[in-house]
Amino acid sequence: MQAVIIIPEMEWRQHLARLDKLEQAEAARVAATTTKPDEVLTTAHAAEYIGLSVSALLRARRAGRLPGVRLNEKDWGFRRSVLEAYPRRYHRLTVQAA
């Protein structure tokens, strides 16, 4: 046998409104904390993306200027967010002579 509780309609609407607010707050919290996983690029793709040669990219990783992710025994990967934050001070701008 099920128990039945009778509450006034106004109180029921208040509970429903409160439940809606809680569900919206939870959905906003989940949306704010859910981040898209960072894409890992292979060494060749990362070098092309950042505008360096493969050897320069690997030198930067060995020097500790650019953290890498080990993909397998031979190859390294690099996170796109790390590549975007990499300082561009090592890039030389080519100036055309006038």
pLDDT digits (tens, 9 = 90+) for 1-14: 889 989 999 999 99
| HSE toward the beta carbon, residue 87, CA cutoff 13 A | 5
C-alpha dist (Å) from residue 83 to 4, 10, 30, 42, 94: 61, 57, 27, 12, 21
What are the structure tokens assigned to 81, written together?
């967010």
Per-residue pLDDT averaged across 20-34, rounded?
Answer: 87
Q: Look at residue 35 in the predicted model and tell me its pLDDT.
A: 62
pLDDT, tens digit (0-9, with 9 covering 90-100), for 41-96: 999 999 998 888 999 999 999 999 899 999 898 889 999 888 888 876 555 555 55
**Structure-model confidence comparison of residues 52 and 24, the more confident one:** 24
